[in-house]
Structure 1
């Protein structure tokens, strides 16, 4: 029993942090290659190559605007330009100090505005190391060559040796975001029973984690869209169900968060606790059904997607009809009317998601 729980826990952490683990593995492998080169040549200036390799590996993460290969290539050109820019400032001590002040100030600005990936701390150390180390034209050429070698190493590791697996990342990110929603709903239950500042803060932290996961989901959505538009028909048919599923899950999570804000404003009386509990069970069941679907399906296709969202819609419709009948006994109860409205809102949102699935599947 304990062994199975441990395996499940490891599986959960592996799926949740899959992208980060692989990114760390790529970075470690690139740095290891640089260390082996250093062990052979015994040249301390190869420290610069290590900085470049570290920065370029980290820059190989995905962004909302382009694929990671373009991201890494752009980072390489930026690092080359940083060496070019820093070289003239190394001639005099006064210009060196001015340049150090400028890049430190820019680092602070980037940190303040949380500009990461391309403009992270590695973009500070490359010109810093250049201006403190380059003494002549030969050193300048040497640093350009080392930057190029570092880029070649990182590109080889990130694209050929440990390439990203888009479908697997889609599976894991969607499961992770639904796990976060499940955790958020549990925290919401705690808050409804004890509306303290501590529980409100916990709820806020859970919501921020969901938004962070949604950001990752949107990046994957963007990359899927780029591949589907430019890829072959077979690739399009293979990836299109993932694209539709991500779109629908994204909308579902946004709707759940919107409903949860209205739930927080409720003041449930003892008389209505059982009915409010049924509503919470309905939300939890919908989320768990989606999680089970993603966990158990081996290959996502449009037919399975249609079946699961039709099932969710019909279940929510049946529950709404039940609440409508119960509402006849609470015709003048404002709190029950609010609960009934939330059930209607949930049913209506699931209905809209199901309709969007039909539109997206027909369009493809």
Structure 2
């Protein structure tokens, strides 16, 4: 039985993951669970502003905080704006986690990223691979910020006895994703590129890199379900599965696909019938990133949405919501 809470602050509710978590909590609320959901837009609350975050949490006094807010982007964005990625993510984590503790919040869940693991980590990547090697250079600033978030939670738990947990998702996609032509992740970037190519009647599409890197993908609704599953798990059960590991847990689908095969799958879903070519002059990034999600599976959670079904749903959402010629 999931533990009921009354007041939950969802930081980042307008993002893809935060929005999916909010939808799932709203469904629980509609089903009769006694929840009060607290949200603020960036215009209403700048999470990089320490004073604003302090005043907000002191006034609202939530019982639970879900930290889904972050500055995120693909290889191009990480390479172009490294200072922004490390600064903004560090500030968000420091402000929210510290001020949550100062406001008496006993339970917190923060979302990280699979990029926390070393570039040459043994595959699939287990939680104890953290800090055992050099990070992937293309997203090192972001990864360092997310590692700091894990260590913040660990440190507050150790010193103050809080129950602050971290989940590390694999590559996510789904409704609410960012389809920016330059700053998006690989899957939404492919959807946009193939759709535009279909509209323009192109006979080929070029993808970055060799197409050989392997990636794991998880639908954002599965991620939302996993996040709340971890949040609701009794502390003794969570600790039993994560200790003597670090205080974070992986969330993945357990399956992987090459970027080239992914491109062909996206082309099929979109209806693009031209040729797909690779551009080896562009960076591949890490050649393989598969999460070992055995700890979470052992706790009783598993994903429900296949990649093909999830892609079809995401493409329909893209058509309904995105000005793809902008």
Please indicate, yes or no, whether the TM-score normalized by the shorter chain is above 0.5: no
TM-score normalised according to structure 1 size: 0.25
Name which structure has the greater RCO, CA cutoff 8 Å, separation 6+.
2
Compare the two structures and name the one with the higher strand fraction.
2
TM-score normalised according to structure 2 size: 0.27
